[in-house]
Amino acid sequence: MTLLQDGLIALLAAVGAVALLWLVVTALVRRPEDLPVVLMVPLRGKAEQMEYIVRTLELRRSRTGSRAPIVLVDAGLAPDACRRARLLMGDHPDVLLMSAAEVSKFWE
C-alpha cells in the first residue's frame, strides 16, 4: 500500500514540476508586442471570402490578445465588394480599407 502511495505522490510531484517549468518557460519566451503588427489582406474582384477572412482574423486576434489592425488592401475590388468592405469597416472598428497607394504612405 505504501508503494502505491509513494508512486502517486511521485507522479503528482512530477506533474507539478512540469507545470511550473512550463509557466516559467512561457513567461520568459513571451515578449511584449514591441513591433507594430498589421494584418494586410489584398483583395481583388468580387472578394467573396472577405467577410470570412475578417471574422477569422478577428477570432485569431482575440485568442492571442493582439491589437493588430486588419487592413483590407483594394487591389482592384469590384464596386459591390468595395461597398461590402466599407460596411465591414463600420461593423468592426479595427478594420481599414486602403488602396495600394495609401498602403505605401501608411508605412512612411
Closest CA to 71 of 49, 47, 90, 54: 54
* Strand segments (E) across the chain: 39-45, 70-77, 95-99
Domain total in the chain:
2
Measured distance CA(48)–CA(83) in Å, rounded: 13
Domain of residue 91 covers: 39-106
Residues 2 and 26 in one domain: yes
Half-sphere exposure of residue 61, counting CA atoms within 13 Å on the CB side?
A: 17
Residues 82 and 46 in one domain: yes
- Each residue's pLDDT, cut to its tens digit, for the chain (108 residues) gives 788 888 889 888 899 899 999 988 887 776 665 567 788 999 999 989 999 999 999 998 888 778 888 999 998 899 999 999 999 888 888 899 998 888 877 766
